[in-house]
Amino acid sequence: MEVVNTAVIGLGSRGLGLADMYSQRSHVGFDLRAVCDLDRARWEHARAVHGRGLACYADMHEMLDREDIDAVIVATGDPHHVEPTLAALANGKHVLVEKPLCQSVDDAQRLVAAARASRGILMIGFELRATSVFREMKTLLDQGRIGEVKLGHAFDNVSVGGDYFFHDPMRQKAFFKSLLLQKACHSLDLLNWLMGSAPATVYAVGGLGSFGGNAPTGLRCHACGKSATCPYYLDKDHVALDYGAPVSRPDYCVWSSAMDLDDHALLCITYANGAKATFQECHFTPEYTREFWLVGTEGKMYGFYDNPGNFRIRIGRRHSQAAPQELRPPREEGDHGGGDNNLREEFHRRIVENAPAPDALESAYYATVLAICAGESIASGGPVAIPPLG
């Protein structure tokens, strides 16, 4: 198998996990050659896993000048995806950037333009597209199993919102912009893909229904007198995420007055082909799942996803007395329902074959810009037009 030499920019918990995934430790087709992070203490975490010989950099440009590096994984914090991605593309590297692509429409357009001009391939970490359930749903839709899709609805049930986002000192719009952008861009991409069109307009509402409040901004779980009874008490040194081993995380109070990220949102979306969809995200549901409903001219489809891989598809036909068809796509190996491993295989194949995904740039752009425009709609109280990709 042809080996792709990799480098990772950003060594937070996700970056360290991706460094492992895109190395010889996990895949014979990737060889991790270098990592980059401004925090030199993180270098030691990477070297503890990949050996003392792993090249570590504080200056990404110095690392990107290396001719032996073929591909770069960008795993910096959300506000800092743009410059590393642009620099890597300018150096002709293939790039896999973690979601979200960026935090502004202008930057999304800049990144697409840079990718079109580069000899490198740009992909975004939308690993859920690579899971068996969503691949199967898309295949069935393309086969016309429910006719032409006219209406859609998706619901992100995020029971882990309190644990993943609202303990963080960056739990503000000033850092994340919105959880529609940070978290829901996965499902917004899937909704666009399954609807078969680019979003044209969005009207959205959102707010705080459970989290935030009047707690002091500096209150921490480990120093709180209510830690024994609080449902969101966090042991800061043993946090289990939905990828990788337990990690250390901040434990600021989820009821803090500093927390201004919306914990729920509802979107009404119109598409360029005339179809319409709604989307809901809620960070205080009891379950952690994604659900999709699609209504076509000939029937209706339901799809269910969770990380353990309990996938389901149900198809009902109009004008038929037959019971709905139930399908159980298999869970494949790897995190995020097998999507992480499948995305890695696709990234390797496209690099080796020099074959960019036909819709990769459109996928990254429209999911990102839809989330950004939805945030603008929540703020303004009116509908927002989605700038089309030229």
Domain made up of 130-339+367-385: CATH architecture: 2-Layer Sandwich (3.30)
Question: What pLDDT is stored for residue 244 in this prediction?
Answer: 52
pLDDT score for 239: 62
Which one is the CATH code of 4-124: 2.40.50.100, 3.40.50.720, 3.30.559.10, 3.40.50.150? Answer: 3.40.50.720
Identify the pLDDT of residue 203: 98
Is residue 242 over pLDDT 60? no
pLDDT at 240 over 80: no
- What does the alpha-carbon distance between residue 147 and residue 144 come to, in Å, rounded to a whole number? 5
Q: Contact 288/158 with Cβ under 8 angstroms?
A: yes
What pLDDT is stored for residue 304 in this prediction?
A: 98
pLDDT, position 183: 96
> Phi/psi of residue 296, each to 5°?
-115, 180
- In the prediction, which pLDDT does 246 show? 52
Residues 110-126: tens digit of each pLDDT: 999 999 999 999 999 99
In whole angstroms, what is the distance from residue 295 CA to residue 317 CA? Answer: 10
Q: Which residues contact 96 (CB under 8 A, 6 or more apart)?
A: 22, 71, 72, 73, 74, 123, 124, 125, 343, 347
Q: Is the pLDDT of residue 243 over 70?
A: no
Span 129-141, average pLDDT: 98
Sign for the pseudo-dihedral over CA of 109, 373, 139, 130: positive
Q: What average pLDDT is seen over the chain?
A: 95
User: What is the rounded average pLDDT of the residues 37-53?
Assistant: 95
pLDDT at position 10 is 98
Q: In this predicted model, what pLDDT tens digit does every residue of 329-340 receive, in sequence order? A: 999 999 999 999
Q: What is the pLDDT confidence band of residue 368, given thresholds at 50, 70 and 90?
A: very high
Does the pLDDT at position 294 exceed 60? yes
State yes or no: pLDDT of 26 exceeds 90: yes
Q: H/E element holding 46? A: helix 40-50
- Provide the 10 A C-beta neighbour count for residue 121: 21
Domain boundaries, the chain: 4-124, 130-339+367-385
Per-residue CA distances from 64 to 61, 91, 209, 312 (Å): 5, 7, 44, 43
Average pLDDT over residues 178-206: 98
Which residues are registered as beta bridge partners of 358? none
CA distance 193 to 58: 38
At residue 6, what is the residue type? T
Rounded Cα–Cα distance for residues 72 and 84 (Å): 9
